[in-house]
C-alpha cells in the first residue's frame, strides 16, 4: 500500500501551531458578547443570515489558516510517497532470487519462484519487502514496499538469464536496501559454488539475518563449452559435469537445418571434443546443440562464426636484449597451435617496447610477460593501460621479473615475494580441473602432475583472486583475477626453463596453447560469447551453512546512508514545493476573504 | 437644559429620592414652564376674586369688575375634578432594558408618577394598573387626598414581570371600566401589534379616551451596536446571532415600520400616540397628556 513518509519528521511538531488559530477561534467564540435586547423580534426579521455567512466565512478563514500552517510544517518535513520506498523505519525483508544460467534446468526456475512466493507469505505483514534478482549483476526488481501484490507479480516474471552468478553483487544490493534498519535477507538460489568465484565485493551488515531457500541443482549437466571452425569442420567441446557417464547427440545446425550430427558418450566429470564435418559456407553463423534433458538448458547451444579465422596476435615481452632465449619456449609452443596458423607471436624485449604505440599493443589478444627488468617507464605505462583497458595479460614471475616495479607494470599490487621459494621438485596440481586451461589434462588425467618446479614466488592471498592451480606445498601456482576491464593470470614460477623444467614437459605446449586460447577467448576464435563463463555450467553446490559462512559481514557504519534512497525519491517527487504552493494559495485566499469580511 | 426645565431630564430625575419627590419635581418644573406657554390657564376653572397685588399678572385682571367697581381684582382658578384616569404601566421584562442609566420601566414610572401628581393637582380621579402577561398591581381610581401617595408608593415598588401580553389586560380592563374616562398606556408595545391594537380599540368602543405612551430606548431605535453578538430576547430568552453592521438598516426599518403602524392605526382609531425615548424630557409626555385631557373635557 502507498504511504507517506517524511525525511525530517521532527518538523511535524510545528504542525501543533495549527492549534493557534483554532484556539483563537474558540476563544473568540467563547467571548462572543451576549446582549440582552428587548426588540429581538424585530431583529429576527432582519437578514441575520448575514451573520451565518460571516460565520461560514470565519470557518473558511480558520480552515485556510490551519491548512497554511499544517502545509508549512508538512513542507519542511519533506514528505514523499513511499509507494516506491517503504518507510525507513519499517523492517525490511529482501528476497534475492537467483536467475542465473544455472537456474535453467527443467522446473528449476518454477521451484525458485515458489520459494520466493513462500518467503513473501512468511514475511510479517508489518515488514516491508524488496525483491532483488541477480545473476552476474543484481537488479532491484521491487523497491522496499508493503505492497505484497507487486512483489508477487515481479516474482512471477522471473526467468533464467544466460548470465553467470555473483552472490556478492546480490548481497551488496540487499545491504544497500536494508541500510540502517532492521532487515533480513531470503536468498533463493541453487547455492552454486562458482557464484563465489567472481572478483567482486559485497556482504551483509552485522545483525542482518539470512535465510537460504535452496533450489536443488540438477544431478548432472552437459554443456557445449567451446566451438570453433577449422576448415570444413566445427570442433566443439562438450563437458559432462555429472558424476555419471552421459550420452548425448551433438548437432551442427544452421538456418534450422542440421548440417552434421554425432552421438557422444562422455565419462563422468570429463570433456570430449566433437568434430562435426559438413560443407560449410564461408560466412554466417551456425549453432552447436546437444540434448540434455536434466541439466541446464541455456548451455546446450553455442554459436560459432563460420568466418575464416585469422591468426591471433600474441606478444611475448621478455627481458633479453640479445633475443637469444627469452620467450623461446612459449613462442615455440604457440606456433604449433592450429597448424601454425592460430597464433602470430611477436617476442619483444622490454626496452624497445617503449617505441610501440598503445594501439600496437592493444591489437594483441594476449600479452605474455616473462621479464620486466628491461621495461622502461613508457613500456610499463603501455602495459598498465593495455590491461586496464580490457587486455589479457599472462605474467610468469620468473627471475627476469622485477617484483618491485610490478605494481607499475600491472596497475595493481600483486603481493609477490621478492625472493623465490626454493622447493626442488614441487609439483603442480589444478584446483579446478574443469577450468578450460586444464581441459587437455583431464583426459588422460594427471599429465599436469608431472610438472616439476624448483623455485617460485609466493603470493599473498587477495580477495578477488582465483587460484587455479597450486604447488604441492600449497602455495598458489596459477591465479586469475580481473584488473580494470582486463584479466590477469599470474604464474608464480618461470616459463623460460630457469626455475623449472615445465617448458620441457609435454604438458607445456597444451598448457600454453589453452592458456592463450582461454585469454583470447571470444575475440579471435570466432566463437560468440555465451554471456557466462564455463564454470556457470558446473552444478557443484555448497551447503547452506557454507554459503552463510562465506558471506562477508560489514560494519553498519560503513554502509551507504540508508536514507539516501528515500532522499532521492523525495528529491524526485518534491512534494514540499507543492505544499508550499498550496500554502501560498491558502494564504492568498485567506487575505482575500479576510479583506472582504472586514 | 436651563432653569427648572432641567428637572424634566430623566437622568436628573433618576437621581432624586422618592417617586413622590420625582413626580413633584417633574410637574412643578413642567408647570413653571407652562406659564410661558400658550397653554396658560387652561384646564383650570374660576374659584374666587382677590385684590390685585403688585406683581400679579395683568392678564389675570378682571376688567369687567374693574369697570364696575373701579377696583383691581384678579381671578383665581382651581382644578377640575371630573375626570377618571387609569394609568396602565407595562412591567414586562422588556421594560427593564436601559442603554444608559434609566430603564424603560423607570422612565415609565416617572411619567406615571408625574401624571398622577398632575391629576392630583387637578383633582382628577386616577388609578394605577401594572401588568405583564396579566395584571400584577391594581389601584382603583380615586381622588382622595391620600390616593396619590398610594399610587406613588405602588410605582416605587413595581417589579419587573415576565412576558408582555398587552392585549389581555387591556381587554380585561376595558370590560371592567364602566365610567367614561381616560386610559393612559405606558408600554414599549413589544407585543403583537394587531393584538395591542385590538385591546386599545376595545376602550374606544366603550367611549374611553386612550393615550399611548410608547416608551423606547434610544438603542432600540438606533441599534448602534458594533460588535457581532448574540442578542437575547429579554422576555423569551431566544437568541439571535447577528452582525449589527449587516442588520442595522433592516432592523431600523422594521422599528420604523412598527412605529408607523401604531401611529397610523391608533390615529385611525382615535387614540393618541406619543412616542417617548428614555433620553427625552418627560415634558413631552405631560404635554401630550394635557392635550388629550383638554380634548376629553
CB-CB under 8 Å, A38 with B225: no
Residues of A in contact with B239 (CB under 8 A): 34, 40
CB-CB under 8 Å, A38 with B188: yes
Q: Any CB–CB contact under 8 A between B262 and chain A?
A: no
pTM score of the predicted model: 0.42
CB-CB under 8 Å, B188 with A51: no
B214 Cα to chain A: minimum distance (Å): 13
d(CA A498, CA A192): 40
Mutate to test the interface with B, among A34, A35, A61, A598 (most CBs of B within 10 A): A35
Got the DSSP string for A74-97? HHHT-EEETTSS--TTS-EEEEEE
Mutate to test the interface with B, among A31, A38, A598 (most CBs of B within 10 A): A38
Mutate to test the interface with A, among B240, B244, B255, B278 (most CBs of A within 10 A): B240
Nearest to A40 among B104, B231, B246 (CB): B231
Nearest to B231 among A37, A50, A55 (CB): A37
Give the closest residue to A196 by CA, choosing from A542, A469, A433: A542
CB-CB under 8 Å, B229 with A34: yes
Could you give the 3-state DSSP secondary structure of residue A529?
Answer: coil
Got the DSSP string for B221-283? HH----S-EEEEETTT--EEEE-HHHHHHHHHHHHHHHHHHHHHHHHHTT-EEEEEETTS-TH
Sign of CA dihedral A133, A134, A135, A138: positive
d(CA B34, CA B32): 5
Residues of A in contact with B255 (CB under 8 A): 39, 42
CB-CB under 8 Å, A35 with B230: yes
Got the DSSP string for A220-269? --EEEEEEEEETTEEEEEEEE-SSS-EEEEEEEEETTEEEEEEEEEE-TT
CB-CB under 8 Å, A43 with B241: no
CB-CB under 8 Å, A42 with B255: yes
Task: Give the phi and the psi of residue A596 in degrees, each rounded to 5.
Answer: -70, -25
Residues of A in contact with B97 (CB under 8 A): 36-38
Q: What is the mean pLDDT of chain B?
A: 78
The string of pLDDT tens digits covering residues B167-222 is 888 888 887 776 667 888 999 988 888 988 888 888 888 778 888 999 999 999 99
Residues of A in contact with B104 (CB under 8 A): 38
- pLDDT score at B155: 87
- pLDDT score at A47: 62
B221 Cα to chain A: minimum distance (Å): 10
Q: Which helix (H) or strand (E) holds A162?
A: none
Residues of A in contact with B238 (CB under 8 A): 40
- pLDDT score at A82: 61
d(CA A131, CA B35): 112
CB-CB under 8 Å, A38 with B190: yes
d(CA A155, CA A174): 16
Residue B126 has which C-alpha cell?
386616577
CB-CB under 8 Å, B227 with A33: yes
| Residue A475 near residue A456 (C-beta atoms within 8 A) | yes
Residues (pLDDT < 50) of chain A are: 1-2, 84, 444-445, 523-526, 528-529, 558-560, 598
- pLDDT score at B37: 37
CB-CB under 8 Å, B238 with A50: no
- pLDDT score at A98: 94
CB-CB under 8 Å, B235 with A32: no
Give the closest residue to B142 by CA, choosing from B128, B156, B162, B159: B128
- pLDDT score at A390: 87
B295 Cα to chain A: minimum distance (Å): 33
Nearest to A43 among B188, B235, B242 (CB): B242
Residue B78 has which C-alpha cell?
382651581
Query: How do beta strands B182-187 and B135-142 pair?
Result: unpaired
Q: Any CB–CB contact under 8 A between B114 and chain A?
A: no
Residues of B in contact with A32 (CB under 8 A): 228-230, 241
Query: How do beta strands A271-277 and A233-240 pair?
Result: antiparallel
CB-CB under 8 Å, B243 with A38: no
Mutate to test the interface with B, among A32, A33, A42 (most CBs of B within 10 A): A42
Q: Any CB–CB contact under 8 A between B225 and chain A?
A: yes
Whether the bond into B295 is cis, omega within 30 of 0: no
Got the DSSP string for B66-96? HHHHS--EEEEEEE----EEEEEEE-SGGGG
A586 Cα to chain B: minimum distance (Å): 25
Q: What is the CB-side half-sphere exposure of residue A315 using CA atoms within 13 A?
A: 24
CB-CB under 8 Å, A35 with B235: no
DSSP A165: -
Residue A228 has which C-alpha cell?
570453433
Classify A107 in phi/psi space as left (phi over 0), alpha (psi -120 to 50) or beta. left
Around Cβ A70, how many Cβ atoms within 10 Å?
19
- pLDDT score at A440: 73
Closest-CA residue of chain A to B258: A42
Closest-CA residue of chain A to B163: A38
Residues of A in contact with B225 (CB under 8 A): 35
Residue A10 has which C-alpha cell?
521532527
Nearest to A38 among B229, B234, B240 (CB): B234
Residues of B in contact with A43 (CB under 8 A): 223, 231, 240, 242, 247, 251, 254
Q: Is the ipTM of this complex over 0.90?
A: no
Q: Any CB–CB contact under 8 A between B226 and chain A?
A: no
B29 Cα to chain A: minimum distance (Å): 31
Got the DSSP string for A271-306? EEEEEEE----SSSEEEEEE--SSS-STTSEEEEE-
| Residue A482 near residue A438 (C-beta atoms within 8 A) | no
Q: Which residues contact B259 (CB under 8 A, 6 or more apart)?
A: B214, B275
- As averages over each run of 10 residues, the pLDDT of chain B (297 residues) reads 48 60 62 44 54 78 82 66 80 90 89 84 84 85 85 87 79 76 88 88 81 91 86 85 83 92 90 86 75 64
Q: Any CB–CB contact under 8 A between B235 and chain A?
A: yes
Closest-CA residue of chain B to A34: B230
Amino acid at each position: 500500500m502507498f504511504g507517506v513518509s517524511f525525511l525530517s519528521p521532527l518538523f511535524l511538531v510545528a504542525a501543533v501551531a495549527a492549534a493557534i488559530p483554532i484556539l483563537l477561534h474558540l476563544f473568540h467564540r467563547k467571548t462572543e458578547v451576549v446582549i440582552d435586547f428587548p426588540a429581538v423580534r424585530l431583529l429576527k426579521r432582519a437578514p441575520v443570515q448575514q451573520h451565518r455567512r460571516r460565520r461560514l466565512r470565519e470557518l473558511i478563514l480558520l480552515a485556510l489558516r490551519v491548512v497554511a500552517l499544517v502545509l508549512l510544517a508538512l513542507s519542511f518535513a519533506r514528505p514523499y510517497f513511499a509507494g516506491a520506498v517503504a518507510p525507513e523505519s519499517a523492517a525490511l525483508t529482501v528476497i534475492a532470487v537467483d536467475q542465473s544460467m544455472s537456474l535453467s534446468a527443467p522446473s528449476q526456475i518454477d521451484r525458485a519462484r515458489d520459494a520466493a512466493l513462500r518467503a513473501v507469505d512468511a514475511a510479517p505483514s508489518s515488514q516491508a519487502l524488496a525483491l532483488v534478482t541477480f545473476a552476474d549483476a543484481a537488479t532491484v526488481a521491487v523497491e522496499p514496499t508493503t505492497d505484497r501484490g507487486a512483489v508477487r507479480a515481479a516474482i512471477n516474471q522471473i526467468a533464467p538469464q544466460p548470465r553467470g552468478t555473483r552472490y556478492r553483487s546480490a548481497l551488496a544490493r540487499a545491504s544497500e536496501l536494508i541500510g540502517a534498519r532492521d532487515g533480513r535477507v531470503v536468498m533463493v538460489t541453487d547455492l552454486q559454488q562458482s557464484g563465489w568465484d567472481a572478483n567482486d565485493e559485497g556482504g551483509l551488515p552485522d545483525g542482518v539475518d539470512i535465510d537460504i531457500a535452496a533450489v536443488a541443482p540438477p544431478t548432472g549437466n552437459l554443456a557445449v563449452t567451446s566451438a570453433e571452425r577449422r576448415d570444413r569442420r566445427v570442433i566443439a567441446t562438450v563437458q559432462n559435469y555429472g558424476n555419471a557417464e552421459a550420452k548425448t547427440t551433438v548437432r551442427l545446425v544452421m538456418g534450422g537445418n542440421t548440417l552434421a550430427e554425432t552421438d557422444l558418450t562422455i565419462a563422468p566429470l570429463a570433456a570430449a571434443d566433437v568434430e562435426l564435418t559438413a560443407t560449410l559456407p564461408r560466412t554466417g553463423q551456425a549453432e552447436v546443440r546437444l540434448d540434455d534433458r536434466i541439466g541446464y538448458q541455456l548451455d546446450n547451444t553455442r554459436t560459432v562464426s563460420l568466418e575464416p579465422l585469422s591468426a591471433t596476435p600474441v606478444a611475448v615481452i621478455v627481458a633479453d636484449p640479445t633475443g637469444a632465449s627469452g620467450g623461446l619456449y612459449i613462442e615455440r609452443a604457440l606456433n604449433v597451435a592450429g597448424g601454425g596458423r592460430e597464433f602470430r607471436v611477436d617476442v619483444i624485449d622490454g626496452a624497445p617496447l617503449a617505441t610501440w604505440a598503445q594501439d600496437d599493443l592493444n591489437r594483441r589478444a594476449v600479452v605474455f610477460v616473462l621479464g620486466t627488468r628491461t621495461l622502461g617507464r613508457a613500456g610499463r605505462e603501455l602495459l598498465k593501460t593495455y590491461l586496464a583497458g580490457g587486455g589479457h595479460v599472462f605474467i610468469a614471475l620468473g627471475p627476469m621479473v622485477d617484483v618491485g616495479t610490478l605494481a607499475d607494470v600491472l596497475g595493481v599490487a600483486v603481493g609477490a615475494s621478492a625472493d623465490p621459494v626454493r622447493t626442488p621438485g614441487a609439483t603442480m596440481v589444478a584446483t579446478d580441473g574443469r577450468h578450460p586451461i586444464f581441459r587437455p589434462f583431464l583426459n588422460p588425467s594427471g599429465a599436469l602432475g608431472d610438472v616439476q618446479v624448483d623455485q617460485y614466488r609466493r603470493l599473498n592471498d587477495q580477495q578477488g583472486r582465483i587460484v587455479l592451480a597450486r604447488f604441492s606445498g600449497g602455495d598458489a601456482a596459477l591465479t586469475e583475477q580481473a584488473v580494470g576491464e582486463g584479466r590477469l593470470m599470474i604464474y608464480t614460477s618461470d616459463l623460460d626453463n630457469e626455475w623449472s623444467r615445465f617448458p620441457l614437459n609435454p604438458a607445456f605446449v597444451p598448457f600454453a596453447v589453452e592458456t592463450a586460447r582461454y585469454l583470447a577467448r571470444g575475440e579471435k576464435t570466432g566463437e560468440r560469447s555465451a554471456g557466462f563463463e564455463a564454470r556457470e555450467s558446473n552444478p557443484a553446490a555448497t551447503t547452506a551453512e557454507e554459503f552463510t559462512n562465506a558471506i562477508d559481514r560489514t560494519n553498519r557504519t560503513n554502509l551507504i546512508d540508508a536514507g539516501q534512497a528515500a532522499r532521492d525519491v523525495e528529491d524526485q517527487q518534491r512534494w514540499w514545493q507543492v505544499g508550499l504552493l498550496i500554502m501560498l494559495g491558502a494564504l492568498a485566499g485567506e487575505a482575500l476573504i479576510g479583506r472582504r469580511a472586514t | 437644559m436651563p432653569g427648572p426645565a432641567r428637572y424634566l431630564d430623566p437622568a436628573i430625575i433618576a437621581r432624586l429620592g422618592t417617586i413622590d419627590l420625582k413626580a413633584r419635581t417633574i410637574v412643578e418644573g413642567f408647570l413653571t414652564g407652562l406659564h410661558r406657554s400658550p397653554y396658560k390657564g387652561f384646564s383650570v376653572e374660576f374659584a374666587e376674586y382677590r385684590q390685585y397685588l403688585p406683581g400679579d399678572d395683568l392678564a389675570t385682571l378682571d376688567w369687567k369688575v374693574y369697570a364696575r367697581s373701579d377696583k383691581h381684582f384678579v381671578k383665581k382658578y382651581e382644578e377640575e375634578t371630573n375626570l377618571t384616569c387609569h394609568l396602565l404601566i407595562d412591567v414586562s421584562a422588556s421594560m427593564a432594558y436601559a442603554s444608559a442609566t434609566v430603564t424603560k420601566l423607570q422612565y415609565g414610572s416617572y411619567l406615571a408618577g408625574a401624571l398622577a401628581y398632575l391629576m392630583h393637582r387637578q383633582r382628577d380621579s386616577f388609578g394605577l394598573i401594572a401588568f405583564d402577561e396579566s395584571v400584577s398591581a391594581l389601584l382603583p381610581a380615586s381622588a382622595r387626598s391620600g390616593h396619590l401617595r398610594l399610587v406613588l408608593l405602588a410605582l416605587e415598588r413595581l417589579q419587573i414581570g415576565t412576558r408582555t401580553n398587552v392585549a389581555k389586560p387591556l381587554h380585561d380592563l376595558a370590560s371592567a371600566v364602566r365610567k367614561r374616562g381616560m386610559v393612559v398606556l405606558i408600554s414599549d408595545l413589544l407585543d403583537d401589534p394587531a393584538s395591542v391594537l385590538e385591546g386599545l380599540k376595545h376602550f374606544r368602543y366603550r367611549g374611553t379616551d386612550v393615550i399611548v405612551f410608547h416608551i423606547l430606548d434610544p438603542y432600540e431605535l438606533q441599534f448602534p451596536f458594533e460588535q457581532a453578538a448574540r442578542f437575547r430576547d429579554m422576555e423569551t430568552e431566544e437568541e439571535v446571532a447577528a452582525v449589527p453592521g449587516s442588520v442595522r438598516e433592516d432592523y431600523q426599518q422594521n422599528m420604523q415600520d412598527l412605529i408607523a403602524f401604531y401611529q397610523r392605526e391608533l390615529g385611525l382609531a382615535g387614540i393618541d400616540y406619543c412616542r417617548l425615548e428614555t433620553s427625552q424630557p418627560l415634558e413631552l409626555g405631560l404635554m401630550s397628556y394635557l392635550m388629550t385631557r383638554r380634548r376629553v373635557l
